[in-house]
Homo-oligomer: A and B are copies of this chain.
């Protein structure tokens, strides 16, 4: 009959690597069947229970260390627990045999003045404090720790941005800066693809996939999982995108994230468009607006992201011919095909605001009155409202011609988007009716751009070429797909304010040369930097006041008071 014994060590701090090693060492002692060594959080007590340790009745708080041993008899269990101090001491002596190690960030900075980066992986409740100290020393921060509050994240990132510094994280698992992996990172060759990711494993999967297919990485910048939420507003993502847009070694960019908040997506995609480099956006679980819109490409799934990035890595720079950008700010889309209208809404919604429509899809707003447009509007004229006792607009152009004149008379309208659908059953010559109306609208408004999606085949009774010529002859820009037409529209709409936001840019030189970094937290991250040939210093960090919460709060009060 086996016997279980436990021990509680109040307010003792050990880092998680030490706890894991201690647990393994205990489990390997003679007569021991299983061991558990954890900080006594409720979750960890439940995990102990699942492993057959009844920890429910043990009085131990979240910041207490709980050691449990199950052995073949009571003696073996007691003997195992009696060795805990010796096992810990053995670990300490190994650490002591290493080179001199600073016990504070300040002395680490003195020891490695060329360091530009600080890795922080201490427990969550201490992490913001260490990160703040690193920023005060003018260093970028790789913040691996989780359980950091959103308020702390915002404060750290705003502070960093003001100084031209970057905070990756919290809960940032992976980055590759100038070839050196921080945190968890695969070994990949250097190359021309720059990555920005709110997901550690996502970044690993794509960088590894690109390497395995022969491509290489310029920089891989982590953000932490919450950077693209509305509360943070993509502060780090926008800094990183600006950096990679300026970086001459980065020829194409990959963004990896869960779906960003709507407003953040709009700013991020606008910045990505303006980068002038091909950008692959991989937003997991997000309905992509199109396969591509100009230099923006949308992938789904990590494997697809690798394929798409590979196909773009060697592609020619995207065509960024600027439009006329008149002062008339709004787009009006007048569609006969419901699916084309929906497709236009989906493609425009992350980039154009506010967007109204009557198609009831995506995040566009419902148009209150289908008879009058508001701001940017996409209208499906084949919707039931318009076709009661009336022919479909593919057969009867009357309604659309009237609406075209109405929109062209609105001085706030800068672009009108139409579809023209050919084929059996449709109007025998739609361009003959639409072209004169287009020419008339443009004659009165030299600043009005008209864009047409022409859907048809060379066999269609209307004649594809003839229809295209009539529409183009009247001054419309004619495209065969919604995506191409929307890309043209976006080039002609006045761009939102963007770019220079008054904050200092991230210095490119901090991403050049041999990486020099200070590590505070998990020793394995220091080992990894060392192995990779980076200059690194490990701080022998201990929580303030030995992790004792009451004492910590007292210390904080004393620091705060004058």
Residue of A205, A386, A391 ringed by the most chain B CB atoms within 10 A: A205
Asked if residues A389 and B284 are in contact (CB atoms below 8 Å), the reply is: no
Asked if residues A186 and B390 are in contact (CB atoms below 8 Å), the reply is: no
A338's closest neighbor in chain B, by CB? B201
| Interface residues as binary, A7-45 with B (CB distance below 8 Å gives 1, 0 otherwise) | 000000000110110010000000000000011010110
Asked if residues A339 and B201 are in contact (CB atoms below 8 Å), the reply is: yes
Give chain B nearest CB distance to A164 CB in angstroms: 27
Asked if residues A362 and B528 are in contact (CB atoms below 8 Å), the reply is: no
A284 vs B424: C-alpha distance when bound (angstroms): 25
| Interface residues as binary, A157-176 with B (CB distance below 8 Å gives 1, 0 otherwise) | 00000000000000001000
Of the candidates B62, B390, B425, B458, which one forms a contact with A528 in the assembled complex, judged by CB atoms under 8 Å apart? B425
Tell me which residues across on chain B come within 8 A of A290, comparing CB atoms.
Answer: 300-301, 303-304
| A459 contacts chain B at the CB level, 8 A cutoff | yes
A389 vs B200: C-alpha distance when bound (angstroms): 20
Asked if residues B384 and A38 are in contact (CB atoms below 8 Å), the reply is: no
Tell me which residues across on chain B come within 8 A of A186, comparing CB atoms.
Answer: 422-424, 455-457, 459-460
Stretch of A80-88, A236-244, A340-348 with 4 or more beta carbons under 8 angstroms from chain B? A340-348
A307 vs B361: C-alpha distance when bound (angstroms): 24
Tell me which residues across on chain B come within 8 A of A556, comparing CB atoms.
Answer: none
Stretch of A266-274, A392-400, A408-416 with 4 or more beta carbons under 8 angstroms from chain B? A392-400
Asked if residues B44 and A388 are in contact (CB atoms below 8 Å), the reply is: yes
A50's closest neighbor in chain B, by CB? B371
Stretch of A325-333, A467-475, A478-486, A510-518 with 4 or more beta carbons under 8 angstroms from chain B? A478-486
Give chain B nearest CB distance to A260 CB in angstroms: 13
| A288 contacts chain B at the CB level, 8 A cutoff | yes
A461 vs B299: C-alpha distance when bound (angstroms): 30
A181 vs B112: C-alpha distance when bound (angstroms): 75
| A101 contacts chain B at the CB level, 8 A cutoff | no
Tell me which residues across on chain B come within 8 A of A425, comparing CB atoms.
Answer: 181-185, 524-525, 528
Of the candidates B384, B396, B455, which one forms a contact with A205 in the assembled complex, judged by CB atoms under 8 Å apart? B455
Give chain B nearest CB distance to A318 CB in angstroms: 17
Asked if residues B388 and A39 are in contact (CB atoms below 8 Å), the reply is: yes
Asked if residues A340 and B201 are in contact (CB atoms below 8 Å), the reply is: yes
A429 vs B303: C-alpha distance when bound (angstroms): 24
Binding site for B on A (CB under 8 A): 16-17, 19-20, 23, 38-39, 41, 43-44, 46-47, 50-51, 62, 123, 146-147, 173, 181-189, 199-202, 204-205, 208-209, 211-212, 225, 256, 258-259, 284-291, 298-304, 307, 336-340, 342-343, 346-347, 361-362, 371, 384-392, 394-396, 398-399, 402, 406, 419, 421-426, 455-461, 480-484, 522, 524-525, 528, 531-532
Asked if residues A38 and B424 are in contact (CB atoms below 8 Å), the reply is: no
Give chain B nearest CB distance to A223 CB in angstroms: 13
Asked if residues A300 and B298 are in contact (CB atoms below 8 Å), the reply is: yes
Integer count of this chain's copies in the complex: 2
A457 vs B187: C-alpha distance when bound (angstroms): 7
A173 vs B426: C-alpha distance when bound (angstroms): 10
A20 vs B187: C-alpha distance when bound (angstroms): 69
Tell me which residues across on chain B come within 8 A of A302, comparing CB atoms.
Answer: 339-340, 343, 481-482
A46 vs B302: C-alpha distance when bound (angstroms): 50
A46 vs B288: C-alpha distance when bound (angstroms): 36
A199 vs B146: C-alpha distance when bound (angstroms): 46
A15's closest neighbor in chain B, by CB? B391
The 4 closest A-B pairs by CB, nearest first: A39-B389, A201-B337, A187-B459, A291-B304
Give chain B nearest CB distance to A468 CB in angstroms: 12
Asked if residues A424 and B20 are in contact (CB atoms below 8 Å), the reply is: no
Asked if residues B423 and A204 are in contact (CB atoms below 8 Å), the reply is: yes
Given contacts A394-B184, A395-B524, contact A480 B423 (CB under 8 A): no
Given contacts A423-B186, A423-B208, contact A361 B258 (CB under 8 A): yes
A343 vs B305: C-alpha distance when bound (angstroms): 13
Tell me which residues across on chain B come within 8 A of A371, comparing CB atoms.
Answer: 46-47, 50
Asked if residues A20 and B396 are in contact (CB atoms below 8 Å), the reply is: yes
> Can you name 6 A-B pairs with beta carbons within 8 Å?
A46-B371, A185-B425, A187-B460, A200-B339, A205-B339, A225-B338
Given contacts A50-B402, A290-B301, contact A461 B187 (CB under 8 A): yes
